[in-house]
Structure 1
Amino acid sequence: MLTSQRKALILDRLRRDGQVIAKALADDLGLSEDTIRRDLREMAAEKLLKRVHGGALPLSPELPDFTARQAVSSDAKRRLGAYAANMIRPGQTVFLDGGTTNAEITRQLPKDLAVTIVTHSPTIAGELEHHPLAEVILIGGKLYKHSMVATGAVAMAAIASIRADIFFLGVTAIHPARGFSTGDFEEAAIKRHIAQCSAETYVLTTAEKLDAASPCQILPLGSISGLIVPSDVPDESLAPYRDTDMPIFLA
């Protein structure tokens, strides 16, 4: 088998399975594991995949630090924020994850909406300064600065005492096989815990996070109440997700 053929097959496996295990692929093809590992190293250098111990993952979007991301407020994120804000009803308890897309939810909330917002993100809490009828509960803990959210045992214990009506979950990558993921183990555990303590969980995402995988899985696709995407995402990009019967909403 030619090198180009092996690499094409590796990309196909990544799209289908969300990962490549070097030993398993070598066994399937009747090749040495060293050959597959060399292919993976070359493909990682070409920015075609992400090398991990024992194999490879699809590339996840490269995220700048939080301050840089905060300065970018795209039209797509504003539409996502407006759609999510419109889902919130007076009297509900809503848990907002950190992130710049979820910050748009707070900016789109009516100032006269009586609602309880729970968050482990001080930046999200700060966005609600001028919402006089919104009760804000800020969860504390060890600050994960990249996402500006609290993590750790203190945060986990506080979250366990809350039952939210809706959780808007932030992720860095979404893949048909690997589900929702992020780059930090502790942050993934917190997100998963919040979802378990919430009646419904929704994910807002822009197109670049689709068909990507980060190292730490949060939840499988079928475990959330719905995915909210911009209305201009091509149908073919959404097809693998519609096949899972996960509700998809267009903003």
Structure 2
Amino acid sequence: MLTSQRKLILLDMLKQDGKVIATAAAAALDVSEDTIRRDLRELAREGLLQRVHGGALPASPAMGDFAARQHIAIDDKSAIGRAAAHLIQPGQVVFIDGGTTSAQLVQHMPQDLHATVITHSPSVAVGLSTHPGIDVIMLGGRLFKHSVVNMGAATVEAIRQVRADIYFMGVCSVHPQAGLSTGDYEEACVKRALSAAAGETIVLASPEKLATASPYQVIPLEELSGLVTVASVPDELLEPYQQRGIAVHLA
């Protein structure tokens, strides 16, 4: 069998089963595990899947930069932002992540809401600059242009001085086994610090992020309080989160 044919079969397995197990794929294709692992590495370099221990998971289409992600699932993100905004209670201290879905959350925050928002996203801060009842605190650091957020040691140190009620997290990928993950190591560190400093962590997950994986884990699923997505997501995709006691909010 040609390498190209074998790779197509592996991608079909991934599409059908939502994962590729290297040992099972090697047996099914009558080749060595080393051959399968090499194929998976090459497919990962092409951005067609995400390598994990023992095999591969679907890669997230949300790995592009901020500008590219603005054109993905626009209606879904708007609905998610609206639903998430109604989870904020008056007087709360809220961490809001950067990202295109967070931008929608900001747009849908009620004008009569009084709360404090702490963010490392210049876009979120500017989006709330005309909101009459929201106090905005900016976390400094080096601007990570890919995601338009501040990052680095100064950002993490500032986060450690705060105890927020809730953190609205944006990530590239949400998966029952791989947890929450993203495409940049330092960005994952900042998100992890925000989660640790909040009473609750709620992830904003448009459908293309579900059941996918990215290179750097932020937190395991057990540390997640809630998930906001759209009602059109199939029940079988949401069931693993509900079984773990994670509150699923449908927009």
* TM-score class normalised by the smaller sequence: 0.7 to 0.9
What secondary structure is seen at the aligned counterpart in 1 of 2:135? strand
| Corresponding position: 1:113 with 2:113 | yes
Shift of 1:63: 3.8
TM-score by length of 2: 0.84
Task: Mark the CA change 1:46 to 1:182 in structure 2 (over 3 Å): closer, same or farther.
Answer: closer
> Does the C-alpha gap of structure 1 residues 56 and 31 become closer, same or farther in structure 2, counting only changes over 3 Å?
same
CA shift for structure 1 position 108? 0.7
Task: Name the TM-score, length of structure 1 as normaliser.
Answer: 0.84
Structure 1 position 69, deviation (Å): 3.0
Structure 1 runs not aligned, ≥5 long: none
Is the Cα contact below 8 Å between 2:10 and 2:25 reproduced in 1? no
Aligned-pair Cα RMSD in Å: 3.4
Deviations 1:196-240 (A, max 9, x none): 000111011111111100000001112111111101111122233
Number of residue pairs the alignment of both structures matches: 248
Question: 1: CA distance between counterparts of 2:98 and 2:48?
Answer: 29
User: What fraction of aligned residue pairs are identical, expressed as a percent?
Assistant: 49
| Aligned-partner Cα distance in 2 for 1:56–1:94 | 35
Change (3 A) 1:25 1:137: same
Deviation at 1:64, TM superposition (A): 3.5
* Greater mean alpha carbon deviation, residues 159-168 or residues 103-112: 103-112
Q: Report deviation, 1:124.
A: 0.5
Corresponding residue of 2:97 = 97
**Deviation by residue 1:90-110 (Cα, 9 ceiling, x = unmatched):** 111011000010111111112
Would the aligned equivalents of 1:14 and 1:57 in 2 still touch at CA under 8 Å?
A: no
Q: Check whether the contact 1:125–1:138 (CA below 8 A) recurs between aligned residues.
A: yes
Q: Which residue of 1 aligns with 2:83?
A: 83
Residue 67 (structure 1) aligns with: 67
Aligned to 1:139: 139
CA contact (8 A) 1:202 1:228 kept: yes
Structure 1, residues 143-180: CA drift from partner, whole Å, max 9, x if none? 11111111111001111001111100110011111010
Q: List runs of 5+ in structure 2 lacking aligned partners.
A: none
